[in-house]
């Protein structure tokens, strides 16, 4: 059993693409955790989608052993995702560590997520080991980046270590700095068992595999344990370390990180942030858990072929086992049939779930436009959460309509500040501050409505700054806004699936754009089809799809006009009768075209 004074628990935090997973590879190589034969790039990113996109989606843990100054140290590394959508994964990992390696790219410098992750590590009172990666690149600018780190993160420039995770240069020094600077875990191996669950994965052969960090006491194979929050008792069948494969051991003591297998068949029996303690006698105190991840973006997922509904449900059930931050519930739509309303942490999370469904379950999906969660206070004083525009009550019943507001930090070259300020002003953003990280780079902070951020803010940012800008956002809360539900009526009937929640000031423009697009996509019928966009009972835009006409007077040559009139009247009667009983066929293509352009054209004012 390793004494707590020779254990170091740390994670690597950085902006997306700054080289966290590559540095983890080098550290495993230096410590001999993985043989040269087993080594491959981004070894910890074991999900096919992670390897394909080159990003980390799930946190991964690995235990390494290293001989330093005559002592054998046990180093537990928890690799974390860099993207803003997976921020909750980062906060879970940081709770289990005493230190964090803060990685910054020697060319790109301090980015939006670097700042967010550094503050998160400071909030958890972690010892930060600042490291600058990619110093071997010809266009690296180490002196300027050190200055940026000192200025933005209050880190002394001389404390920053330089390394190249790709070539391995300076990585040994990083490892030794972790041993020297990161404090040993506090905890008594002989106290009552107290362990934190920081993650769980599902294995089809072994069931739920629970990742734990032991705070106090010792857990042994065959012992009876209790999950305090869940209130369930289990027997430990197997426990061990990640090396990075699972390696069984007989016990895990205070300060150690590892896994438990307890014959648990589903992941909903394991609560992330729960405390593991003894089943008999006085249990340990509960550890402060995590905030439940809040789903902010919702959209409908429908099988493009109506037959696959059952298959889609099975695929979603499987996914939710592995990713508890995602949720779904069945819904129906006039245009698309049966499907599911799904909640995600953000746009990238939504994209990844969709890709996993298409690749792993081989289902062809139709996805509706993403929308955010709104809060509505009704006239009766009741507060309700609304995930879809169809659930919004009538305008007369609403006392206050609130929308989620986020604080967005843009890190960008100074010459693009004007363009981004205009972009935020067009979206009615509130200016907060500008910070200069260096003479050529600045951080611009704005408060914006989340709905405006999720649609196309990232694309607009990249095109305005030519790819050099990055952004990070955090939820501030809900604020009242001038919001309305805009309905689309086809032949006087409201089409639920086309309703949109938007700002009252944008409604006219967006209404006209949707109606125009529908007119192009809906085929002509034997009768006239009116298309309308309305807020409540007020129609704000209208177009008519004219009826197909047959020339009924073609056989009349000369003669009295009354004969022609008679035929026209007869045709008119037939059209009228047809209009009262005929239904309008809206093709799926028309429906999807509206979803794509309803957002876009509304912005082109």
| Residues contributing to the annotated binding site for GTP | 17-22, 133-136
DSSP code for 491:
T
SS3 per-residue string spanning 348-416: HHHHHHHHHHHHHCCCCEEECCCEECEEEEECCCCEEEECCHHHCCCHHHEEEEEEEEEEEEEEEEHHH
Quote the CA–CA distance of 77 and 106 in Å, as a whole number.
Answer: 23
Q: Rg of the chain's alpha carbons, rounded to an integer? A: 29
Nearest to 66 by CA among 96, 35, 32, 38: 32
Q: What is the CB neighbour count within 10 angstroms for residue 304?
A: 13
Quote the CA–CA distance of 336 and 142 in Å, as a whole number.
Answer: 54
Quote the CA–CA distance of 414 and 440 in Å, as a whole number.
Answer: 5
Q: Is the dihedral of CA 533, 538, 541, 546 positive or negative?
A: positive
Q: Is the dihedral of CA 457, 460, 465, 470 positive or negative?
A: positive
Binding residues: 17-22, 133-136
Largest CA distance in the chain: 117
Quote the CA–CA distance of 518 and 543 in Å, as a whole number.
Answer: 9
Query: Contact 394/357 with Cβ under 8 angstroms?
Result: no
DSSP code for 137:
S
Q: Is the dihedral of CA 205, 206, 207, 209 positive or negative?
A: negative
- Phi then psi for residue 302, to 5 deg, are -125, 145
Task: Give the three-class secondary structure for 535.
Answer: strand
Q: What is the CB neighbour count within 10 angstroms for residue 229?
A: 15
Cα torsion 571, 574, 578, 581 to 10°: value is: 160
DSSP string covering 31-48, please?
TTSS-TTT--TTTT--SH
DSSP code for 334:
T
Nearest to 508 by CA among 601, 393, 590: 601
- Residues counted in the chain: 605
SS3 per-residue string spanning 284-329: CCCCCCCCCCCCCEEEEEEECCHHHHHHHHHHHHHHHHHCCCCEEE
């Amino acid at each position: 059993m390793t004494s707590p004074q020779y254990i170091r628990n740390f994670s690597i935090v950085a902006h997306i693409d700054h080289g966290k997973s590559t540095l983890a590879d080098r550290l495993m190589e230096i410590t001999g955790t993985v043989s040269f034969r087993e080594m491959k790039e981004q070894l910890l990113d074991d999900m096919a989608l992670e390897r394909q996109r080159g990003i980390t989606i799930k946190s991964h843990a690995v235990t390494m052993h290293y001989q330093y100054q005559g002592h054998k140290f046990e180093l537990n590394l928890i690799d974390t995702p860099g993207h803003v959508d997976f921020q909750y994964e980062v906060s879970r990992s940081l709770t289990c560590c005493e230190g964090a390696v803060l990685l910054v790219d020697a060319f790109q410098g301090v980015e939006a997520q670097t700042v967010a992750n550094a503050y998160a590590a400071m909030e958890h009172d972690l010892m930060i080991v600042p490291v600058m990666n990619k110093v071997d690149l010809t266009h690296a600018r180490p002196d300027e980046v050190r200055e940026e780190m000192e200025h933005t993160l209050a880190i002394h420039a001389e404390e920053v270590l330089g390394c190249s995770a790709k070539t391995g240069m300076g990585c040994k020094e990083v490892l030794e700095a972790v041993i020297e600077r990161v404090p040993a875990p506090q905890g008594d191996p002989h106290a009552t068992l107290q362990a934190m669950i920081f993650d769980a994965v599902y294995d089809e052969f072994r069931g739920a595999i629970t990742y734990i960090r032991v705070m106090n006491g010792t857990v042994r194979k065959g012992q009876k344990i209790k999950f305090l929050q869940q209130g369930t008792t289990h027997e430990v069948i197997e426990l061990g370390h990640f090396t990075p494969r699972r390696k069984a051991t007989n016990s895990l003591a205070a300060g150690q990180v590892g896994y438990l297998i307890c014959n648990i068949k589903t992941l909903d029996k394991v609560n992330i942030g729960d405390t593991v303690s003894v089943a008999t006698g006085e249990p340990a105190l509960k550890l402060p858990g995590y905030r439940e991840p809040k789903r902010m973006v919702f959209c409908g997922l429908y099988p493009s072929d109506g037959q696959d509904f059952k298959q889609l449900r099975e695929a979603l059930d499987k996914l939710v086992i592995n990713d508890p931050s995602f949720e779904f519930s069945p819904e129906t739509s006039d245009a698309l049939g049966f499907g599911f309303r799904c909640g995600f942490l953000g746009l990238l999370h939504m994209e990844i779930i969709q890709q996993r469904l298409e690749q792993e379950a081989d289902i062809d999906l139709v996805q509706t436009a993403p929308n955010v969660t709104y809060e509505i206070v009704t006239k009766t004083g009741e507060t309700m959460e609304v995930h879809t525009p169809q659930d919004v009550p009538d305008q007369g019943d609403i006392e206050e309509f609130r929308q989620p507001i986020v604080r967005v930090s843009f890190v960008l070259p100074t010459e693009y500040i004007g363009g981004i300020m205009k972009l935020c002003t067009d979206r009615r953003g509130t200016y907060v501050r500008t910070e200069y990280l260096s003479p050529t780079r600045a951080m611009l902070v704005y408060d914006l409505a989340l709905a405006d951020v999720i649609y196309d803010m990232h694309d607009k940012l990249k095109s305005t700054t030519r790819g050099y800008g990055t952004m990070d956002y955090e939820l501030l809360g809900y604020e009242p806004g001038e919001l309305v539900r805009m309905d689309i009526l086809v032949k006087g009937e409201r089409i639920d699936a086309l309703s949109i929640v938007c700002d009252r000031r944008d409604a006219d423009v967006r209404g006209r754009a949707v109606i125009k697009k529908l007119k192009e996509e809906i085929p002509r019928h034997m009768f006239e089809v009116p298309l309308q966009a309305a807020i409540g009972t007020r129609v704000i835009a209208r177009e008519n799809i004219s009826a197909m006409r047959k020339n009924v007077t073609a056989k009349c040559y000369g003669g009295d006009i009354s004969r022609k009139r008679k035929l026209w009247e007869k045709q008119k009667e037939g059209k009228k009768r047809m209009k009262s009983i005929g239904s309008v066929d809206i093709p799926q293509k028309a429906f999807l075209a509206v979803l794509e352009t309803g957002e876009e054209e509304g912005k082109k004012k």
